[in-house]
Amino acid sequence: MTFTTRFAPSPTGYLHKGHAFSALMAYEAARAVDGRFILRIEDIDTTRVRPEFDAAILEDLAWLGLRWEEPVRRQSQHMSDYQAALDELREAGLLYRCFRTRREVLDEIGRAPHGPGEGPQGQVFRGAPLPADEEERRLEAGEAFAWRLSLDAAARWLGEGGWTGLVFQEEGRGPIQARPERLGDVVLARKDVGVAYHLAVVVDDALQGVDHVIRGEDLLEAAHIQRLLQALLGLPSPAYRHHRLLTAADGQRLAKRDKAETLRDLRARGVTADQLRAELGFPRA
């Protein structure tokens, strides 16, 4: 199998150095072994995506010297693929409707006793389907709902031991035990958008034959739930490499800074792609 990796930005802003680093990590890894490099535009969050950011991503990456396979997959054009995966999970009894607002979820988490459900971001949400009559009443009233993955149902579905023994391969670290309980009952279909990130990523990586996921270590936690989804959907699990994040001089993550300098800004002040590549530790284009 040809080594296949991808860079999967969301067009919700202009790319900065941190994105360039991540894109180059994947691109150069593929190039080193004559593998495939895919660019995927993760534009399902219609509340935040803007077409000018999409166009800018292509322009900035081309400036950086990257070449990718055409056509570029845009998630917004493949909603039926994610719907099919959602249907599969729903038919297996693995999802439940959640009518709670964000506020209600936070309140509920706040009330829960601290314990084994605690994840990297603090307490996580674990829920259950509503009683059938209440659910029906709310549906009739036209209340919006999200679909959440039930970890309890997933554990039962997997059988004896649940996800114990389910691992993902992290390059340089070997197998890591998947701990989806660190993220809780994640939303797989949002009230507003219809499909959520974890599901779309897992479906696309499988559909596109991605066998190496190279991305920032801020997404390491996501691998725990994504590995579970791969198991539930019968999809292959790629090898992962979660690379370090670039930090600014003040030690803050670039993405978190209000105004990390964008690649367009760098270009405008005369920085060349090769200069940036060298600064980030990569060979000339």
- Using alpha carbons, list the distances in angstroms from residue 247 to 8, 107, 167, 250: 20, 33, 29, 8
User: CA-to-CA distance for 190 and 178, rounded, in angstroms?
Assistant: 24
DSSP label at 253? B
| Pick 153 or 219: Cβ nearer ligand GLU | 219
Part in contact with ligand GLU (CB under 6 A); list of ranges 3-11, 29-37, 139-147, 264-272? 3-11
Element (H, E) at 155: helix 151-158
Residue 110 tokens read as 């706040």
Supply the minimum distance, in Å, between the C-beta of residue 8 and ligand GLU: 4
The region of 6-14, 81-89, 146-154, 180-188 touching ligand GLU under the rule CB under 6 A is: 6-14
On whether the CB atoms of residues 60 and 263 are closer than 8 A, the answer is yes
Question: Which region among 2-10, 101-109, 166-174, 241-249 touches ligand GLU (by CB under 6 A)?
Answer: 2-10
Q: Name the minimum Å distance from CB 58 to ligand GLU.
A: 15
# chain residues binding ligand GLU, by CB under 6 A? 7
Distance between CA atoms of 192 and 144, rounded to whole angstroms?
Answer: 8
- Kindly indicate which of the ranges 8-16, 60-68, 121-129, 268-276 contains the residues binding ligand GLU, using the contact rule CB under 6 A: 8-16
First to last CA, the chain: 26
Using CA atoms, how far residue 137 sits from 2, 73, 85, in Å, is 52, 39, 27
| Among 33, 37, 42, residue whose Cα is nearest residue 75 | 42
Least separation in angstroms between residue 238's CB and ligand GLU is 10
Residue number with CB closer to ligand GLU (223 or 273): 223
Listed ranges 5-13, 87-95, 136-144, 157-165: which one lies at the site for ligand GLU (CB under 6 A): 5-13
In terms of CB distance, is 11 or 184 closer to ligand GLU? 11
Per-residue binding string, ligand GLU, 190-219, x by CB under 6 A, is -----------x-------------x---x
- Asked if 20 is part of the footprint of ligand GLU (rule: CB under 6 A), the reply reads no
Q: How far is Cα 60 from Cα 261, in angstroms, rounded to an integer?
A: 13
With CB under 6 A as the contact rule, the residue among 4, 5, 8, 196 that binds ligand GLU is 8
Residues facing residue 16 across a β-bridge: 262
DSSP structure class, residue 102: H
Q: Which residues bind ligand GLU (CB under 6 A)?
A: 8-10, 42, 201, 215, 219
